[in-house]
Amino acid sequence: MADYKAPLRDMRFVLNEVFEVAKLWAQLPALAETVDAETVEAILQEAGKVTARSIAPLSRSADEEGCHWNNTVVTTPEGFPQAYQTYAEGGWVGVGGDPEFGGMGMPKAVSAQVEEMVNSASLAFGLYPMLTAGACLSINAHASEELKATYLPNMYTGVWAGSMCLTEPHAGTDLGIIRTKAEPQADGSFAISGTKIFITGGEHDLTENIIHLVLAKLPDAPAGPKGISLFLVPKLMVNADGSLGERNPVSCGSIEHKMGIQASSTCVMNFDQAIGYLVGEPNKGLAAMFTMMNYERLGVGIQGLATGERSYQNAVEYARDRLQSRSPTGPKAKDKVADPIIVHPDVRRMLLTMKAANEGGRAFSTYVAMQLDTAKFSEDTETRKRAESLVALLTPVAKAFLTDLGLETTIHGQQVFGGHGYIREWGQEQLVRDVRITQIYEGTNGIQALDLVGRKIVGSGGALYSVFADEIRHFTATADAQLEEFTRPLSAALQNLDELTAWLLDRTTANPNEIGAASVEYLQVFGYTAYAYMWALMAKAALGKEQAEDFYASKLGTARFYFARLLPRIHSLTASVKAGSESLFLLQAEQF
């Protein structure tokens, strides 16, 4: 496996040249006081070093060893506790955290780059700080000042970790039918009882305490999702002076044996009258959890991108070195027995597909992160509402499309290696196994597609869609003529998406099955069109500079490949959507 190198040049390009993030931050007073170019550059540089030097070298050995469970105690692979301490001491767990409680206070557009780096280095490792950061978001937004002061500082510094305990064996995505109970106690706390499954980082040896956020129901709670409350349940109780006290009756019953992310502890957690504290209002637990959900779902999308980036780096190095056959146009390495496989058209197709997906995904995830920053920090009501609309619309696309392409990209990377890609020592098969979970957790990609079509497109009568579509339309209408080779196909793709959206809005009024039948392919069409917008923006930033630096020539070449070879996928996908739902219901259940 190639040594991981953080793609800092491309991150700088996206932040500074494509989106000119400094202009956005200058308009957001809360960020203008804490963010400057020098600080961001130092963060990118140092994050690149710590992920490449301390975490990436552990990825394969940690996958081979996995986590160990022994009588409720979970031990992570060799080297993980030391690497986590190094990561935490650098302040990386709290890079986006509230400065009032010890976080760095960086915008999501910056912390997104750090997330990509740590997940490229090791997806299994990156899950631990990711879950902690997510728990901190909900605590900071909804918990009492006392709870925030007690728990956030040690969580931001990485001394304590966080987990989120949502689903149960019988529930899956349907959280409205959870059975975990919360019984009020005389001192204002609650006794939490129940079993949670698939809990990432529910138990481990990386930190001295773990703070669980647990969904449970009060005795008088209404049925369904409107009866869910959120509780903070520490592994070890915290004394009044901040020291750790006795063990709370919460334990790990087992860890899952998984396809990938072997070094991440995925736990079955048992709560037996464990002491917990209400976060937010009673029966408003899902709302409190959804505070962090947009961030987490973008974070999962970034995991898909990050794994694809690691696979691409491996594949490019291999393709440049591996000698096999001759170029179709004649020998290129005449002093060698064969040419490097990078001369072959099909290898180039795979590498360019990976490159286009990764760089398009980096731009798109940064764009969505900027909308999160605007929605959180803008003091202008209209600007904030517009950003909130874009976040609502684009979050399911970011989660699903980035992870769908993440799987495709890692498979391409494995294929470049041929038979060696199937062998564990080269590392490519691990990336395929690891990235597969990203399409499943934080709401499966099918659920994300239903959210996009059912709630965001149909539910808003197309209003949310118009916000994004109008932005693209304005860009193509005002773009310089030099960009026509990119804006012309972008305009055509947008017109196709406009027509497909109108078709969907019309058809779903008569047949509710159309939403579920169309949703996955519609999200794909949306994703490829959104990436076309990103590639047009990147082409605009690169055009005219290609003679000065190879980076820009590479960027323009990849943009042309995207429009020529990947964007046309929208046509077959559009045909699938317009085929309707009828063919899905031609068979009776017993005929399958």
Q: 527-553 burial string, b = 16+ CB within 10 Å, else e?
A: bbbbbbbbbbbbbbbbbeeeeeeeebe
Closest CA to 413 of 321, 317, 324: 317
Beta pairing partners, 255: 267
Question: Are 502 and 543 contacting, i.e. CB atoms less than 8 angstroms apart?
Answer: no
Question: Residue 581, CB half-sphere, CA atoms under 13 Å: how many?
Answer: 14
191-to-182, 183, 250, 272, 514 alpha-carbon distances in Å: 5, 5, 11, 8, 44
Helices (H), 451-543: 463-478, 484-507, 513-542
Amino acid present at 320: R
Q: How far apart are CA 485 and CA 12, in angstroms?
A: 25
Task: Establish whether 546 is a catalytic residue.
Answer: no
Element housing 266 (H / E): strand 266-279
- φ/ψ of 303, rounded to 5, equals -60, -40
- What are the Cα distances from residue 520, in Å, to 238, 469, 517, 571? 46, 19, 8, 14
DSSP states of 284-349: -HHHHHHHHHHHHHHHHHHHHHHHHHHHHHHHHHHHHH-B-S--TTS-SSTTSSS-BGGGSHHHHH
Q: What share of the chain is helix, strand, coil (3-state, %, to 5)?
A: 60, 10, 25
Contact of 282 with 300, CB cutoff 8 Å:
no
Candidate list 116, 203, 388, 442, residue with the active-site label: 442
State the helix-helix crossing angle for 428-435 and 123-142, rounded to 10 degrees. Answer: 30
Closest CA to 540 of 350, 363, 305: 363
For CA atoms 416, 418, 423, 425, give the dihedral sign.
Answer: negative
CA–CA separation, 344 vs 311, rounded Å? 19
Contact 155, 93 (CB under 8 A): yes
Active site (catalytic) residues: 442
